[in-house]
Amino acid sequence: MRPSILRRLLRRVASTAVLGLLAATLSTTAAAQPAAAAAGGLQQVTGFGSNPGNLQMYAYTPAGLPANAPLVVALHGCTQTASAYYTNSGWPKFADEWGFSVVFPQTTSANNSLSCFGWFDPAEDTRGKGEAASIVQMVEYAKQQYGSDGRRVYVTGLSAGGGMTADLLAAYPDVFAGGSVASGLPAQCATSQAAASGCQTGPQKLTPAQWGDKVRGAHPGYTGPWPRVAIWQGTSDYTVYPANATALRDQWTDVWGIGQTPSSTGTLPGNTTRSVYNDASGNPAVETYSVSGMGHGLPVSPGTGAQQCGTAAAYFLNTICSTYYTGVFWGLDGGTPGGGGDQLPAPAGVTVTGTTDTTATLSWKPVEGAASYAVHRNGTKIASPTATTYTDSGLTAGTAYRYTVTALDGSGTAGTASAQVTATTTGGSTPATCYSATNYAHVTAGRAHMSGGYVYANGSNQNMGLYNVFVTHTLKESPAGYFVIADSGCTTG
């Protein structure tokens, strides 16, 4: 027996126990659907590449679709099929209305006894390997055969498919412009089968920066632009617990460098709360959708209304059409993706070329089509130079400032924000001050803030644990307004 086949068999046996929680409640009806079924216009595609992950490719392409249309990749959950996801998710409806292709990858029991995508397996979910590489080969096939626009490729998935979605966004941010994770896991939450169950019931208590590092480590050296990410979660999901949505939020807001406090919050149908986290240009970069009382599944809303979609079935739950809101967030309806439209690219090579005690000078490479640029300091726009250099003045000595730059077209529309750079002014430093108190007292005193039931230090955004009077931390403040956890000892010099 070839070693590669033996390894797959071993993974198949071992993963049965680990992933039982993720798939134990999935419908036997869904599992019984024929793997090769092609519902309506869904067609199986063969010969799309070397297929190192041993996946099957199904695709739906509306008739008369023009070249350079967007592409959506939709990943099913455990024991489900591409056909079930095509039938129930609502993606074909909006592919017809808005004009884009949909690829439905399918894994089978040959890879995993429960037909789960390998979101927990580095041999399957990392750049250039296994199932992740097979899915990217499907994207390349669609670009060549359907004329799909490589700048507008998006990926979405449910449960194990949601976990693989997050891993794909981390491993291939240069391929996917956006993602949507439904009842899924943060990128690289588990890197072994033994750790998978723990992620489902409660991911590690990591800081946003530590979660963000898992993304940055998946494609070392990549600095942006980053995918825009939607996160869907039921508050009564006891298969993939809601803590995963919080970890996903922390992870992707940290990658974008925008903090974990929402820019706006509102209500949607189906007892859904949407929280929006804007990028430095004021466009939505991350959105979370919390569906009150919903269990484990993809939110759908059967009906003929403009904002309705899908079919209620096992793990397709009648609450709200997540596909509609996800598509609008990505700009598939013809609107602006995350508010940004056909955006100018991010300025490359943003660097700090010099500092004094009151100034910081930046430079960057020109962007074709840019009429001017917007410079943001600590998330606030401060200038719109036409040149590719800018000196910020009136700063405080010995203080760190975060900068991003976006290109503006002739109408003033902002493009994608650059990677963030930090400039620290020279000159006098302020001695550190230390504070020991409960998490509740830190928040009350303005040294920390609360989000999702957890407390985060202002400035560093380090996770301090639950918002209560039973958890105590020492915070060190330096410079003013920037706090870090210093429980092991706090020096004031």
- The catalytic site residues sit at 159
Measure Cα distances from 28 to 178, 234, 313, 482 in Å.
32, 22, 11, 53
How many Cα atoms occupy the beta-carbon half-sphere of 219 within 13 Å?
Answer: 19
Say how many C-beta atoms besides its own lie within 10 A of residue 201's C-beta: 13
Backbone angles phi and psi of 246, in degrees to 5: -65, -45
Contact in structure between 208 and 190 (CB atoms under 8 Å): no
- Rounded to the nearest angstrom, the gap between the alpha carbon of residue 400 and the centroid of all alpha carbons in its chain is 27
E strand or H helix at 85, and its extent? helix 82-88
Strand order across the beta sheet in which 360-363 lies:
351-355, 360-363, 389-392
How far is it, in rounded angstroms, from Cα 198 to Cα 200?
Answer: 5
How far is it, in rounded angstroms, from Cα 272 to Cα 284?
Answer: 18
Which residues touch 145 (CB under 8 Å, ≥6 apart)? none
Contact in structure between 404 and 392 (CB atoms under 8 Å): no
- Torsion from C-alpha of 432, 253, 233, 106, nearest 10 degrees: -140
Backbone angles phi and psi of 274, in degrees to 5: -105, 130
Backbone angles phi and psi of 291, in degrees to 5: -100, 110
**Helix locations, 116-220, DSSP H:** 122-125, 130-145, 160-171, 193-201, 208-216
How far is it, in rounded angstroms, from Cα 88 to Cα 103?
Answer: 15
